[in-house]
Structure 1
Amino acid sequence: MFWELIATVFAGLGGAGIALLLRKLTKQSAPKWLVPVFAGGAMLGFQIQGEYEWYDHQASLLPEGVVVVKAVQEEAPWRPWSYVFPQTIRFIAADVANSATNKIDPNLVLVDLYFFERRHMAKRVPQIVDCVQKARTDFTQSFTSSDKSTQSTATWHPLERDDLLLKAVCTG
């Protein structure tokens, strides 16, 4: 975040420099207010560009075998351009390459989910996916199966048939 601040300041200096060059080329007939307007516009443009490129950049850094299973886009009134082009503010990736099938119940797959959000550290959450019941739950040391005949302490969350997590983990 520190380097982003430095880059934003330099974008502002560059914008101000362009305005000063315009004033020099027009023999100072261009208005003086162009300098702060160009500086502010360059800084705002740099920040907007960074907001939109964040997701593509982060997704490109994921190692092979880690698949994006959900991306969350958002519009906000303080970013009116986001109503035209929604911005991806967070996403979830599954480490499919290192997932493990349960030896007792092969319908259960243990997979690590990584939660990414702009300007936050990534969080890893181990999950168990039941490929037959089409559900997921948090992995804990006291985990029991989703079989209806046994008492389960886990809270299972149903997944849609076309859920990308289900497709990524249960196929193959």
Structure 2
Amino acid sequence: MIWELIATIFAGVGGAGIALLIRKISKQRAPKWLVPAFAGMAMLGFQIQGEYDWYQHQTSLLPEGVVVVKAVQEKAPWRPWSYLYPQTLRFIAADVANSAQNKVDPNLILVDLYFFERRSLAKRVPQIVDCSQGARTDFTQSFSTADSSPQNWHKLDKQDPLLTSVCS
């Protein structure tokens, strides 16, 4: 995050430099307010570009076998441009390559879900997916197939990306 701040400052310096060049070419006829305006626009533009590129950059860093199962696009009033082009600032990925099938019930698969959010650390949440019932539940150390009550299971749609990627 410190590198992003440094890069934003350099973008502002570059924008101010362009405005200073315009003032020099126009023999100081261009208004003085152009310098801070260009600096601010460059810094804002750099931040916007970084927010839009974040999702593609993060997914390109995922190892082989980790599949994105949900991407959340957001719109916000303090980002008016997001109403035209929504931003993906959160997504969920499943580690399909390292998923484990239950030896007693082969329909149960243990898989790690990773929750990514811009400017936050990734969170790992182990889940159990029941391929025959089309449901998922949180994995705990005390989990047992004999006493798992139906209210702990969350039903998944047949076309849910988590279900299709884990159970295929």
Q: Give the Å deviation of 1:67.
A: 0.3
CA distance in 1, matches of 2:148, 2:96: 25
CA distance in 1, matches of 2:160, 2:109: 15
TM normalised by structure 2 equals: 0.97
CA distance in 2, matches of 1:92, 1:103: 27
CA distance in 2, matches of 1:152, 1:170: 20
The match for 2:162 among 152, 165, 168 is 165
CA distance in 2, matches of 1:27, 1:63: 54
Amino acid at match of 1:16: A
- 2:148 counterpart residue number: 152
Q: Give the Å deviation of 1:142.
A: 1.1
Report the number of matched residues.
Answer: 167
List 4+ stretches of structure 1 deviating above 4 A. none
Q: How does 1:1-172 map to 2 (within 5 A)?
A: 1-145=1-145, 150-153=146-149, 155-171=152-168
CA distance in 2, matches of 1:89, 1:157: 24
Q: Give the Å deviation of 1:155.
A: 1.1
5+ residue gaps in structure 1? none
Q: Give the Å deviation of 1:144.
A: 2.1
5+ residue gaps in structure 2? none
Q: RMSD between aligned alpha carbons?
A: 1.0
CA distance in 2, matches of 1:152, 1:14: 60
The Cα offsets for residues 36-67 of structure 1, whole Å up to 9 and x where unpaired, read as: 00000000000000000000000000000000
TM normalised by structure 1 equals: 0.95
Amino acid at match of 2:125: V
CA distance in 1, matches of 2:121, 2:141: 25
CA distance in 2, matches of 1:120, 1:152: 33
**Residue aligned with 2:152, SS:** coil
Q: Percent identity?
A: 77
